[in-house]
């Protein structure tokens, strides 16, 4: 399966809603918890409390590769990475691998984070090359590493950010039908599989060098022991499992030296991928976090070998193919920063796509409209910027309490 570049297609209808429409949205109700279960799981959280930052760091004691999987576009989660960078360094972890930069741009990444002065234009160029990822918080991952490195002496080891991804070439896609043509898509991805490419980068840049690293990517890429189902909901039939995600490949390589942490976000609906999202594990975690003392709601906790690991998910697509799917099948650890309804959008950089880079964007963006000469460059520039600057997560998450 080819790596998914998460961009908004150029001329898709913009997501716009009035205040009255938002107020009329049918919220997904949260479940009630059995009092005994609620006390048990609350006591566990309080007695084992760790901040998300401390929780991530703690996992490097027994693991070499720690995956942190996100649902994209969430401001608080990218800002967690900003805070983690100096803490990783303080604890002897000198590498951060990210999905949001290409391996072939490693020299550019090094130039930005090791420079005497920060070059935001070059940082933006790096993110442009990787799926036109023009969001301020993601670009500032590079700035956070630079801020750390500039304070270090020449004798101290520098912190490194490693671009994991492969650069795509969408020049070959002229129509929507081209995206269904395997020969054309092989040209787009240069006969590579995105997850395999990222896994190979981790092996060559980190594992083979006996290093440790935090790997930050979309949650589907970070699956380790969990195998994503390809399930036909209409025929009620499992087609296959995808066992070739980046994390799957690394787990097969180094086994329990990996650890997979999931950042609390939406889950796919058991009714199908086109249906509205649902709470993880049927809303139990969300209900719990509304009831425990506030100082424990910013937290990282273990899933494996805990009561959290036994939580079921009847409403989610992730259960398919498993006889008794529970959270421990999905991830090893979990981070909760805020209720889904309080998570915020990352910020699209104003005029990120402009006259100086539109020719590159035409090759980097999957929408064939960008290669359609019946539209002017100005229309294409305005289209990409407007589509990406519009609300995503906050609008999507309006359905949650």
* pLDDT tens column, 8-33: 333 332 222 333 344 578 899 999 99
Question: And the tokens for 183?
Answer: 């020969």
pLDDT band at 5; cut points 50, 70, 90? very low
Please report whether residue 10 resides in a domain.
Answer: no
- State the DSSP H helix or E strand holding residue 228, giving kind and residue range, or none if neither: strand 228-232
With beta carbons less than 8 A apart as the criterion, state whether 143 and 118 touch. Answer: yes
Residues whose CB falls within 8 Å of the CB of residue 79, separated by 6 or more in sequence, listed in order: 137
Higher-confidence position of 20 and 244: 244
| Tokens encoding 279 | 């709470």
- Residue at 8 is within a domain: no
Structurally, the chain folds into a number of domains equal to: 1
CB 52 within 8 A of CB 246: no
pLDDT 10s digits, 325-359: 999 999 999 999 999 999 999 999 999 999 999 99
Q: How confident is the model at residue 267 (pLDDT cuts 50, 70, 90)?
A: very high
- Dihedral angle, C-alpha 344, 19, 8, 368, nearest 10 °: -170
Average pLDDT over residues 285-312: 96
Which uninterrupted H or E stretch holds 211? none
Whether 144 is covered by a domain: the verdict is yes
- The predicted structure's pLDDT at residue 340: 97
- Does 7 map to a domain? no
pLDDT at 6 over 80: no
**Phi, psi (degrees; rounded to nearest 5) at 241:** -105, 145
Residue 111 lies in a domain: yes
The residue to which tokens 């160029």 are assigned: 125
Tallying the residues shown for the chain, one arrives at: 401
**Quick check: is 14 in a domain?**
no
| pLDDT at 149 > cutoff 70 | yes
Confidence of residue 268 (pLDDT cuts 50, 70, 90): very high
pLDDT number for residue 23: 55
Whether residue 239 lies inside any domain: the answer is yes
Q: Which domain holds residue 390?
A: 19-399
Per-residue pLDDT band at 7 (split at 50, 70, 90): very low
Round to whole Å and give the CA distance between 335 and 160: 24
Higher pLDDT: 169 or 121? It is 121
pLDDT value at residue 390: 82
Task: Note if the pTM is more than 0.75.
Answer: yes
Question: Could you tell me the two tokens for 89?
Answer: 């360094």
Could you identify the residue written with the tokens 């951060």? 96
Angle 75-90/136-150 helices, nearest 10 degrees?
20
The reply to whether 9 falls in a domain is no
Least confident of 45-59, 90-104, 381-395: 381-395
Locus of tokens 């699956």: 223
Sole residue written with tokens 């969300």 = 286
- The whole-number pLDDT of residue 401 equals 92
Q: How far apart are CA 335 and CA 338, in angstroms?
A: 10
Q: Output the pLDDT for position 283.
A: 97
Least confident of 159-163, 223-227, 389-393: 389-393
- Residues facing residue 65 across a β-bridge: 213, 258
- Give the whole-angstrom CA distance, residue 109 versus residue 123: 7
Q: What is the CATH number of the domain that holds 272?
A: 3.40.50.11550
- When the pLDDT of each residue in the chain is averaged and rounded to a whole number, the result is 92
Per-residue pLDDT, 391? 81
């Amino acid at each position: 399966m080819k790596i998914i570049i998460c961009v908004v297609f150029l001329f898709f209808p913009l997501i716009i809603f009035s205040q009255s429409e938002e107020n009329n949205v049918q919220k997904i109700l949260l479940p009630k918890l059995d009092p005994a279960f609620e006390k048990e799981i609350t006591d566990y959280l309080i007695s084992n409390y760790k901040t998300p930052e401390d929780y991530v760091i703690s996992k490097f004691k027994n693991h070499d590769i720690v995956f942190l999987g996100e649902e994209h576009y969430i401001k608080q989660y990218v800002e967690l990475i900003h805070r983690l960078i100096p803490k990783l360094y303080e604890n002897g972890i000198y590498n951060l691998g990210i999905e949001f930069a290409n391996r072939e741009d490693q020299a550019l990444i090094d130039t930005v984070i090791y420079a005497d002065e920060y070059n935001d234009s070059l940082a933006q160029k790096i993110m442009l090359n990787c799926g036109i990822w023009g969001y301020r918080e993601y670009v500032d991952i590079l700035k956070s590493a630079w801020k750390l490195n500039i304070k270090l002496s020449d004798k101290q080891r520098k912190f490194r950010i490693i671009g994991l991804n492969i650069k795509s070439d969408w020049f070959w896609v002229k129509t929507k039908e081209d995206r269904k043509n395997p020969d054309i898509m092989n040209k787009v991805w240069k006969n590579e599989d995105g997850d395999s490419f990222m896994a190979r980068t981790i092996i060559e840049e980190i594992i083979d060098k006996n290093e440790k690293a935090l790997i930050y990517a979309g949650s589907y890429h970070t699956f380790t022991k969990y195998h994503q189902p390809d399930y036909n909901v209409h025929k009620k039939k499992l087609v296959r499992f995808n066992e070739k995600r980046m994390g799957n490949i690394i787990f097969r390589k180094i086994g329990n030296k990996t650890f997979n942490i999931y950042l609390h976000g939406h889950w796919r609906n058991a009714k199908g991928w086109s249906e509205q999202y649902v709470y993880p594990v049927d809303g139990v975690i969300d209900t719990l976090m509304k009831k425990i003392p506030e100082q424990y709601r910013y937290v990282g906790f273990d899933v494996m070998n805990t009561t959290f690991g036994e939580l079921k998910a009847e409403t989610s697509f992730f259960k398919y193919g498993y006889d008794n799917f529970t959270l421990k099948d999905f991830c090893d650890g979990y981070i909760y920063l805020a209720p889904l309804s309080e998570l915020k959008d990352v910020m699209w950089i104003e005029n990120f796509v402009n006259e100086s880079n539109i020719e590159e964007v035409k090759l980097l963006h999957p929408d064939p409209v960008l290669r359609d000469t019946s539209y002017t460059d100005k229309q294409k520039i305005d289209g990409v910027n407007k589509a990406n600057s519009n609300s995503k997560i906050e609008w999507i998450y309006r359905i949650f309490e």
